[in-house]
Amino acid sequence: MRPYPPAPDLEAVDGELFGGGHLWIREWIDGAPLRFQLQHSGVVRFGDAERVFGDDDVPDAYRHAVRHVRERLDREALVAAVEDVESVVLFGVATQRLTVEYDFDRLPSVLGVEVWSDDGFLPPDAADRVFERLGLEPINAVRKEISPRDFDPSPAAIPDSQWYDGPAAGIEIRNTRGPRGKLLHPDLDIESGSPPEPITASTSEFAREYATGARLDWIAGRLETHGTPVTVDSLYERLLEDALRRHHRRLHHPESTVDLGALRSELAAIAGEYLGS
């Protein structure tokens, strides 16, 4: 599978990025890189920026994103659109909690960023149309088709986020000729690598604090919206994936007091209680 395209800091690509063409300014999402490819067998292959995932080794934090693509990707539309489906690689961002606490109830599990085919990367407007046709939401554009001379590459250009009440993590600047770069918000410490706070509650306390009645209602409602029967198994699986999406860094902290195996049992029990099973 083709490697994930880099988005260097602006100072590393200034001349190339602003030397002609037109710019698309898109919100930079503080998430994790995800690439995926439909194979001839009909199976979707996934990977991050470093490796391709095996069928049984999808990282915990990516489980929600993999399910999202598997359930929503219109395979028939992709097969009908190209001669060889394996010539197409789709690149997106898996929206799990890193630094910014987005409104994850609204934010899709995956936002589409780039599309690669044998002819190279598609222009941003064409890539957006591809994601929409395939049943996936493209990343939100802040400004489209602007001249490089009309863009101020300074932190003042970073808008408020569409996905929570606060500033965007940054912006991605994509030239229609191909180059791309990013400008991160100077106050959000996005790439510092600072560790999160560990969870110090017991496994049972954390499970009960997370899996509230409102959370269970929300997940059951989403299952019903997508035509999935609300069973103990389906509710438990979505509960676990959502918990890992929001808290994976804290849960995997070496000082966390939550046992992941016991957490799975607690969430399964809560799902059963909710459904009266």
Per-residue pLDDT tens over the stretch 193-247: 677 899 999 999 999 999 999 999 999 999 999 999 999 999 999 999 999 999 9
pTM confidence score? 0.95
CB 108 within 8 A of CB 162: no
Count of domains for the chain: 2
Q: Decide if 155 is inside a domain.
A: yes
Burial annotation 159-195 (CB, 10 A radius, 16+ → b, else e): eebebbeebbbbbbbbbbeebbbbbbbeebebeeeee
Q: Decide if 4 is inside a domain.
A: no
Q: Is the pLDDT of residue 267 over 80?
A: yes
For the ranges 3-17, 73-87, 94-108, 195-209, the lowest mean pLDDT is seen at: 3-17
pLDDT interval class at 125 (50, 70, 90):
very high
16, 57: one domain: yes
In whole angstroms, give the CA distance from residue 35 to residue 7.
Answer: 15
* Residues in CB range of 188: below 8 A, 6 or more apart: 30, 99, 100, 167, 169, 170
62, 170: one domain: yes
Q: Decide if 252 is inside a domain.
A: yes
46, 164: one domain: yes
- Residue 240 to residues 172, 258, 270, Cα–Cα distance (Å): 31, 13, 11
Percent of the chain with pLDDT over 70: 99
Map residue 275 onto helix, strand or coil.
coil
Q: Decide if 130 is inside a domain.
A: yes
Q: Decide if 67 is inside a domain.
A: yes
The range of the structural domain enclosing residue 260 comes to 203-274
Q: Decide if 189 is inside a domain.
A: no
Q: Which of 120, 151, 184 is the last residue of a domain?
A: 184
In whole angstroms, give the CA distance from residue 142 to residue 171.
Answer: 8
Strands 110-117 and 89-94: antiparallel
